[in-house]
Structure 1
Amino acid sequence: MTTTRPATAYVHGVNGPVVVIPARVCAWLERHAKLNEVRIQERGADPEVDAVLVALRLAALTWRTTATGTPVAAKPEVAPDLNQWLSTGQAADRLGITDRAVRLAIQEQRLHATNVAGRWRITREDLEHFSAAKNAATAA
């Protein structure tokens, strides 16, 4: 279960501050902040930055593999394999909430979803991020 920690809980180090980033957050940053693109564009500019960006990538891949069963992030476009996308009803069943609560979370932009032909579609990865954030909020 994910718990909410203060920002200072992620900063460590005696000889200089080091930030510890959970793998789920690495996956979120990679997808929404496009860190993978930055890693590729800036490759070779600074060895320490390269090493950290690769470490973030590995942590994101590890989390995705355990959370979604695949090391590849779901594409935001509709893919031919609709099994990677969930309807609001399917998401509600997995979360143990109502379909209406899922649509409200989408409307409030707490749950990322894509509208395809008037129907909301949610990736398994986005559902895992939402679920982890929801669990962290209830644990606080």
Structure 2
Amino acid sequence: MTPRNPDIVGSEQPAPVPPVGLQPDGGPWLNIVSSANYANVSPRTIRRAIQDGRLRASRPARMWRILRADLDAFMKAAER
């Protein structure tokens, strides 16, 4: 994330840079890395959750895609 410059005021601040792989339009699909960044866990944790069936994902064209809503549900279940 881009650090804020205290010398710049108001709307002149640059927009924060989204994590690698995160869709800039806030789309519903995330890849492994962006899912891990979003959930604040490692990519390995995301892969394990997919393999264990705790996180729904699809794999079109050999790349995992996770719906943001499914990731939110996974995170909520992990809090319990």
TM over 0.5: same fold? yes
Which has the larger share of strand? 1
CA distance in 1, matches of 2:49, 2:67: 14
CA distance in 2, matches of 1:132, 1:84: 17
Pairs within 5 Å for 1:1-140? 83-136=27-80
CA distance in 1, matches of 2:67, 2:61: 16
- How many residue pairs get aligned? The number is 56
Compared CA separation, residues 82 and 93, structure 1 to 2 (3 A): closer
Provide, for residues 17-49 of structure 1, a one-character-per-residue CA deviation record: whole Å limited to 9, x for no partner.
Answer: xxxxxxxxxxxxxxxxxxxxxxxxxxxxxxxxx
**Identity between Structure 1 and Structure 2 (%):** 38
- CA RMSD across the alignment: 1.7
Residue type matched to 2:72 in 1? E
Which has the larger share of helix? 1
CA distance in 2, matches of 1:109, 1:133: 13
CA distance in 2, matches of 1:89, 1:99: 6
CA distance in 1, matches of 2:63, 2:27: 15
Runs of 4+ in 1 over 2 A off after TM superposition: none
TM-score by length of 2: 0.65
> In terms of Rg, which structure is larger?
1
TM-score by length of 1: 0.38
